[in-house]
Amino acid sequence: MMLFKKILLTVFFGLIAVHSTSAEEASEEIDIGEVVFEHVLDSYEWHISEWKGRSIAIYLPVILIDDGMHVFSSKHILETGSYGNYHIAPKGAKNEGKIVRADGSRPFDISITKNVLQLMINAILLLVIVLLCARWYRRHDVLKEHPSGIAALMEPLIMMIHDMARENIGEDDFRRYSPYLLTAFLFILLSNVMGIIPCFPGGANLTGNIACTLVLALFTFFTVNLTGTRHYYKEIFSPDVPGVLKPLMAVIETFSALVKPVSLTIRLFANMLAGHIQILCMVCIIFIMGKYGPAMTGGATLISLLFGIFLDVLEILISFIQAYIFTMLSSIYIGMARQKAD
């Protein structure tokens, strides 16, 4: 029994170390909200673990554009709380947790934060994967060989989206849009999966950040509305309805066109954020139960382990589904904008 508990605790120490910074606080009262938000929000350093009271983290560069460019390591500002004219906004203040000027206003902050670094890692990974795959196709004769290695891995995904674009946009001009849809799909899928990995090269909540999903949705929005046909604009601004209803319908249609990117943004953001919060809560249950003695801790550990595994697997499924839904809706919106007059 003791051995079993020891094994369980060892297993959990691994999980705890990567999911939580507060392993030592297990006996104290812990603020779940704070722990969870610390993990799902962006930060100036990439926290990995704590070891004997010292935190192990990657300090990322801060870049501020405010009367010229200021570049310094976030280590300075995080350890002392201030650096030059800048300090980190205290809890409860406006711009909480972000670098602000002495008067509390924000400079233009393009720091390489945790999410930006994750974004760069994902971008490089995506480029490497797809360009290697493309290289395979350039170097092999597809009429004589079936795809192998990375090409065999990527071909089903790429062709699934390519065929979806063909179906939703139409045979005439889906080739113009398929690269965008493919980039969006693979980028979201990769970012979602990287977000589930709990340690360094992944783990940042990139697609659970509203800025990331907003940019993706705006790319779709501009793609749809800058390449729409005359028929599409006529349907929005002068729909085929009786005279009195015309202005009303025009307002509704315009509003619906503007709401589409918002729904895309929020759907992806909320789904990924919720997934991360669920997994983090499962891990936090262990620490909440910590003060009720070994039996409760052991039981809660077992349960949260099982639920944690379940949620992690579910999260992999959701990663794929959300990436697919985002791409499918984008292709449907583009297809609607490419409609020709009947």
Q: Which amino acid is at 316?
A: I
Q: Which amino acid is at 138?
A: R
Per-residue tokens: 273: 């954020």
Place of tokens 């993990």: 39
Q: How far is the CB of 97 from another protein (least distance, A)?
A: 4
Between 43 and 49, whose beta carbon lies closer to another protein? 43
- 314 Cβ contact list (under 8 Å, min separation 6): 275
Q: How far is the CB of 131 from another protein (least distance, A)?
A: 6
Q: Are 112 and 67 in contact (CB under 8 A)?
A: no
Between 4 and 108, whose beta carbon lies closer to another protein? 108
Binding footprint of another protein on the chain (CB under 8 A) = 37, 40-43, 95-98, 106, 108-113, 115-116, 119-120, 123, 126-127, 130-131, 133-134, 137-138, 142-143, 151, 154-155, 158-159, 162, 175, 178-180, 182-183, 187, 209-212, 214-216, 219, 273
Between 70 and 162, whose beta carbon lies closer to another protein? 162
Between 127 and 197, whose beta carbon lies closer to another protein? 127
User: Whole-angstrom Cα distance, residue 280 to residue 32?
Assistant: 9
Q: How far is the CB of 198 from another protein (least distance, A)?
A: 21
Q: How far is the CB of 309 from another protein (least distance, A)?
A: 27
Residue among 44, 38, 47, 43 nearest 61 (CA):
44
Between 227 and 339, whose beta carbon lies closer to another protein? 227
Give the ranges where the chain is alpha helix by DSSP (H). Answer: 2-19, 32-40, 74-80, 114-139, 150-169, 174-196, 210-226, 230-237, 245-289, 294-337
CA atoms within 13 A on the CB side of 247: 1
Q: How far is the CB of 273 from another protein (least distance, A)?
A: 8
Between 42 and 235, whose beta carbon lies closer to another protein? 42
CB atoms within 10 A of CB 195: 25
Per-residue tokens: 241: 């309805």
Q: How far is the CB of 9 from another protein (least distance, A)?
A: 33
Per-residue tokens: 21: 């910074």
